[in-house]
Amino acid sequence: MTKKNIVVVGTQWGDEGKGKIVDLLTDRVAAVVRFQGGHNAGHTLVIGNQKTVLHLIPSGILREKVACFIGNGVVLSPEALTKEVTQLEATGLPVKNRLKISEACPLILDYHVALDQAREIARGNKAIGTTGRGIGPAYEDKVARRGLRAGDFKNMPLFKEKLASALEYHNFMITNYYKSEAVDFDKQWVKCEQYAKLIVPMLADIPNLIDGYNREGKNLMFEGAQGTLLDIDHGTYPYVTSSNTTAGSASSGSGIGPCELDYVLGITKAYATRVGGGPFPTELDYDVATDKGDEIGKILGTRGHEFGATTGRQRRCGWFDAVALRRSAQINGLTGVCLTKLDVMDTLAEIKVCTHYILNGEKIYLPPASAEEYDLVEPQYTTLKGWQKPTVGCSSWEDLPVEAQKYIRFLEKEMGVEVSILSTGPDRSETLVIKDPFEN
């Protein structure tokens, strides 16, 4: 078998189940690479009775023989990293000797968090719905070329000068424009001295490590965060994240050449969810706090446990949107799809799929470019019969209820991409591999 470098991306608005699938496939790779985002991602893994939520460290960390890399495209919170390493090592899992971090990772520090939260408060009812963890401001500093990077921890006297300059700039905005409390330099500096002790030993030349594995013919996995429809360029702007979440950023965010990427696996829920603000044409509005709203939305949210792994916020739920998925397939160049949470729909008598929109009286089969137009679209549905039988535990295609098979085939036709993996539960074992990405 020839080596395969596989990119795993979310095709919707995040929370598709990427962590589980990366964990499932990592027993056949030498390393897993995170290439964008930050600790705003929450990847939940369930193995037996053990539940693990990872926000920053690649999901391959649960496989003791797999190396884990954090690439230059990731904005790194030293505070979040410290907590995650401590929690994992408390369980007996070796982390520090297996985790390598790019020196080019921009750092998320206290002033980024303060700025992020102050902005969301100032936006009021027009808030984007960020996690408030400093992701956007850290990416801003990167592009403005004023950010501190992980490699700066190697020279702490110079780091101190850069930190003072950064705080002077950001505190001016925080106190004068947003009328919030300034971030204290001394407190931040003390924290950074401790962060350096943890991070410097893990710094590495990630592109060179990746190149070495490629030359040895070893498989690699590139783990995306969030989802395609949250991409800063291709998503429902401005209701997006601050990074490129699509397959192309696996190259720029890690240092691997694009021609070395062999397979793009798009993780796709059997229905749709979204956290925070922004357009969501197929939404089935339900409010868990008041227990009011659409009954199907309630079923999807309850059976699917649709609460954010990072923030705990209720996810908005809706029918599968094939219009959005067509765009995701185009942008990512999907080789195959992993369909997750099929079991959540086991009790439904009827299931709807959005096949196209009506915008200004015309049919459209791809999403509009602007969020304003997105708000105006009218989703058009095809209704399919539900299977109303359990899919959990199905070990082969033939074991699936006939109506479930028909649903999957219908989605394949609408997306233009085959389903290669099927997830019917949160556990690693509750997965059906139809076409092995490593062999196709």
> Which residues does the annotation mark as catalytic?
15, 43
User: How far out from the chain centre does Cα 75 lie?
Assistant: 13
**Interatomic CA distance for residues 282 and 299, integer angstroms:** 15
What is the DSSP code (8-state) at residue 230? G
Residue 422: strand pairing partners: 339, 432
- Position 204, amino acid: A
Interstrand relation of 292-293 and 286-287 (parallel, antiparallel or unpaired): antiparallel
Residue 70: strand pairing partners: 34, 101
| Rounded to 5°, angle at Cα 278 from 272 and 280 | 35
Q: Write the DSSP assignment of 38-67 as a string of letters.
A: -TT--EEEEETTEEEEESSS-GGGGSTT-E
Q: Write the DSSP assignment of 274-323 as a string of letters.
A: E-SSS--TTB--EETTTTEE-HHHHHHHHHTT-B-TTT-PBPEEE-EEHH
Residues 338 and 419 sit within 8 Å (Cβ to Cβ): yes
Whether residue 238 is preceded by a cis peptide bond, meaning omega within 30 degrees of 0, is: yes
Dihedral angle computed from the Cα positions of residues 411, 246, 239 and 340, in that order, rounded to the nearest 10 degrees: 40
Per the document, the length of the chain is 440
* 153, two tokens: 């921890």
Say whether 345 sits in a helix, a strand or coil. Answer: helix
What is the DSSP code (8-state) at residue 255? -
Question: Which residue's structure tokens are 């100032």?
Answer: 122
| Rounded to 5°, angle at Cα 129 from 299 and 367 | 75
